[in-house]
Amino acid sequence: MTSRNRQKLFLSLQISLFCLSIALHPPQKGNERVSAAEISSSQISKLANGSPSQADILSLKRLGTPVVKVLSSVAQNDQEKLKVRLFAIGVLGEMGVDAKSAVPTLAQAARDRNASIRLKAIRALAEIGPVAKSAIPDLSVALKDTDEQVRLEAANALGKMGDAAKTAVPSLVEALSDPRQAVRVSAIHALSSLGAEAKPAMADLTQALSDPQREVRVSAIVALGRLGEASKGAVPMLAQSLNDPDKDIRLKATTALGVLAQKPARRFLNWLKHCDTAIATLDRLPRSPWAKLDLGQRWPFLN
């Protein structure tokens, strides 16, 4: 066994033994400082500089709150190697809500000058979820990042912040004009997760139905259907999607309109029954929920 492997084995054993001691003798209230000191920044650094296994990472995660401060310290230390900082941030993300006290550190890292750090921090915030809502302003700023992947992950993270992300609606609306398709799609998904809170973005989501990129149009249709009654003003544009040459888009538009038909949107759907082209399109979709319906007698709910 090489010297390096022996060191790695020794460190792994130290962490495992410490986890066992925590399980057998949980620290009393007020003793977290002592517990955290057992795993030092230098030990985290040594582990990260090696080839940490899943078992090593699991051992760290099992430490819970006591190790969060140490990992946070490593994550924000810009004198530390990039590899080590990324490792610490990654473990914090994997800890989920147990790492909620690290949210301020991760929010700061989301503005780091290094794109890899920003990306890793944003992903960690997404894994922590709604309890990381204090980082929403930082995630909103990240939607304008120069790095496409950072913008994409920022939109994804906002979609996991729950209703608190309503303050990010203006930034998400701006992201609907992002030059990258993937970012536009992620922004649509994030808005659709907000329910009624996304109402201020409805006009922009409706406009996305005419996006030149297929995936954006599909995402907009699904989002409008998911938002239900709040998107009833989009019915005329959704009806136009029934003429799209893409069969999948026609099907999704049909499904979205079907959802709206169960809500107070009859005055818009009455418009649809006069659109001969749309009706003909529906008739060409044998799997469509509209297929067994007919105008007038077969569509009594439109009257």
Contact yes or no for 126/89 (Cβ under 8 A):
no
Q: What is the pTM of this model?
A: 0.75
Task: Tell me what pLDDT residue 151 has.
Answer: 98
Task: Tell me what pLDDT residue 1 has.
Answer: 57
Class in CATH terms, 167-189+198-303: mainly alpha
Work out whether the CA dihedral 105, 108, 110, 114 comes out positive or negative. Answer: negative
Task: Tell me what pLDDT residue 14 has.
Answer: 58
Q: In whole angstroms, give the CA distance from residue 134 to residue 157.
A: 12
Q: In whole angstroms, give the CA distance from residue 178 to residue 175.
A: 5
Task: Tell me what pLDDT residue 2 has.
Answer: 63
pLDDT averaged over 10-residue windows placed end to end, the chain, 303 residues: 57 54 45 50 90 86 88 95 96 96 98 98 97 97 98 97 94 97 97 92 95 95 89 88 88 85 50 51 45 37 37
Contact yes or no for 284/254 (Cβ under 8 A):
no
Tokens found for residue 158: 């906002």
Ranges for all domains in the chain classified under CATH 1.25.10.10: 167-189+198-303
Buried residues in 232-270 as b, exposed as e (16+ CB within 10 A):
bebbebbbebbebeeeebbbbbbbbbebbbeeebeebbe
Q: In whole angstroms, give the CA distance from residue 289 to residue 258.
A: 7
Task: Tell me what pLDDT residue 6 has.
Answer: 56
